[in-house]
Amino acid sequence: MARYFRSLAFRLVAGAAVLVAAGLLVGSYALSILFHDYVERGFDARLGIMLESLIAQTDIGDNGEVGPPKALGDPRFEQPYSGWYWQIATKDGPVLRSRSLWDEVLSPKDVTAAAALRTFETTGPERQHLRVLTRSVTYPESPEPYFMSIAGDTAEIDQETGRFNRTVAWALAALGLMLVAAVFVQVRFGIQPLRRIPRALAEIRTGRADRLEGIFSAEVEPLAEEINALLDHNRAVVERARTHVGNLAHALKTPLAVLTNEAAAKGGPSTAAVRRQAEIMRRHVDHHLARARTAARAGVLGARTPVVPVIDDLKRTLDAIHRDRAVAVAIESARGAAFRGERQDLEEMLGNLMDNAYKWARAQVRILVAVRDERLVVQVEDDGPGLTAEERDAVAQRGVRFDEAVPGSGLGLAIVRDVAELYSGGLALEESKLGGLSAVLTLPAAPSG
């Protein structure tokens, strides 16, 4: 989950969602204000029409007193506390008022304030919030002006605004979800070329490809070109290392061979000592050159070696070398088992293990290949005399041998162990079910196919 939160896609979608939400909130607030203003102006217009009707329907007598206005055409003025009221007042107080006001009056102080036409808000009967429109009217028959007032409950404005706000909220929420979904689809589509990079690198790492192949977007193409250039440079460095190691091997082995031949030709008491020391030097040269070659190849991307073909090739070679011993070899392998590394290194490790098994086996050698949890496990066992626990601990040390009658340098298992460790693997020596020694080699496995 933490990895998902750190992803580029999540950051882009989350950032877009925050901006969309902020924009929609600001937009919804602005729309609510505008609609409330629109409804309020419409409400004031209705109050103005009713006020003109009140003035037109009101008569004044010869004595200067006003009479009750004729019907205004709205039954709410007849219903007590309906929220719609009219009132006629002088500066001394109300003169006439609608039946709906019952025993209440509109605020005389506000109604009679000096102004030809004014709008104000006040609290009416039953704590209603009223919006009042007042106009002063002067008749020829009366020296004092009359203040005509129409009041309406603003709950109607609030109700209409509330309905509008709810509708806008649902609409903008749906719009916001659609916008975020569109951003999500756009981001997923936009970063698709970036997702191809890890897949292409995995193909290289597992040996299915040796370069980033395909057409990339203009933004990603420079990255792909740089990675391919880095891979080419890595291969060139490894190839140069191999060449240098080969040249070093030739440069060292040739003088050692000349030294050994010269000592053998001249004879003398020191000949055996010279030959023995030269052989020790040759063994160490072989061991360290093998480590150098493996170290140069172990980190190379794209190396993949099927195991069974290597075992078959080594078996044919060893069958020919040990043809006089008639050793029976059984091979059992998981389908598609492959080593994530160089074939030459696998040949060197399996060659040493199989050669030891051929040398010590009485009549039977068994090779088992399995893949467990992305690890390649190769078990080479024989029916020979085997080794004790103490001997198994010591035999993997460089140059240790327990039988000088059997040819060998004593470096085979040490080389296998060192090469396996360079690949983050290992070598374990156990007692075989066949009665002899079981060598279990663990290495990184490459995906099958």
345 and 423, same structural domain? yes
427 and 323, same structural domain? yes
The model's pLDDT over 280-309, given as tens digits with 9 standing for 90+, comes to 676 666 666 665 655 555 555 557 789 999
Instruction: Answer whether 353's CB lies under 8 Å from 414's CB.
Output: no
Domain end residue (candidates: 278, 298, 318)? 298
Instruction: Answer whether 55's CB lies under 8 Å from 49's CB.
Output: no
User: How many residues in total does the chain contain?
Assistant: 449
Q: Which of 15-19, 253-257, 385-389, 397-401 shows the lowest per-residue confidence on average (mean pLDDT)?
A: 397-401
126 and 91, same structural domain? yes
In sequence order, what are the residues at sequence separation of 6 or more whose Cβ sits closer than 8 angstroms to the Cβ of residue 119?
44, 47, 131, 132, 133, 134
What is the separation of C-alpha 295 from the centre of its chain, rounded to a whole number of angstroms? 34
What is the separation of C-alpha 222 from the centre of its chain, rounded to a whole number of angstroms? 23
On whether residue 409 sits in a domain, the answer given is yes
161 and 27, same structural domain? yes
409 and 329, same structural domain? yes
Report residue 314's pLDDT band, with 50, 70 and 90 as the boundaries.
very high
Residue predicted with more confidence, 134 or 226: 134
247 and 145, same structural domain? no
368 and 339, same structural domain? yes
On whether residue 400 sits in a domain, the answer given is yes
17 and 48, same structural domain? yes
In sequence order, what are the residues at sequence separation of 6 or more whose Cβ sits closer than 8 angstroms to the Cβ of residue 93?
105, 108
279 φ, ψ (degrees, to nearest 5): -65, -40
pLDDT at 28: 93
Give the domain extent around 138: 67-153
413 and 313, same structural domain? yes
Domain end residue (candidates: 239, 273, 298)? 298
The b-or-e profile of 220-231 (16+ CB within 10 A means b, else e) is beeebeebbeeb
pLDDT at 115: 62
163 and 52, same structural domain? yes
On whether residue 90 sits in a domain, the answer given is yes
CATH of the domain at 360: 3.30.565.10
Domain end residue (candidates: 128, 153, 178)? 153
Residue predicted with more confidence, 99 or 295: 99
On whether residue 199 sits in a domain, the answer given is no
On whether residue 145 sits in a domain, the answer given is yes
Q: Sign of the CA dihedral 296, 302, 308, 314? A: negative
326 and 351, same structural domain? yes
* Number of domain units in the chain: 4
Give residue 331's identity as a one-letter amino acid code: I
Q: Which of 246-255, 294-303, 432-441 shows the lowest per-residue confidence on average (mean pLDDT)?
A: 294-303
The model's pLDDT over 45-55, given as tens digits with 9 standing for 90+, comes to 999 999 999 98
On whether residue 207 sits in a domain, the answer given is no
On whether residue 137 sits in a domain, the answer given is yes
On whether residue 310 sits in a domain, the answer given is yes
Report residue 384's pLDDT band, with 50, 70 and 90 as the boundaries.
confident
The model's pLDDT over 141-155, given as tens digits with 9 standing for 90+, comes to 777 888 889 999 999
CATH of the domain at 80: 3.30.450
116 and 236, same structural domain? no
Instruction: Answer whether 129's CB lies under 8 Å from 153's CB.
Output: yes
pLDDT at 410: 46
| Crossing angle (nearest 10°) for helices 271-298 and 343-360 | 140
Determine the average pLDDT of the residues in 13-35.
Answer: 93
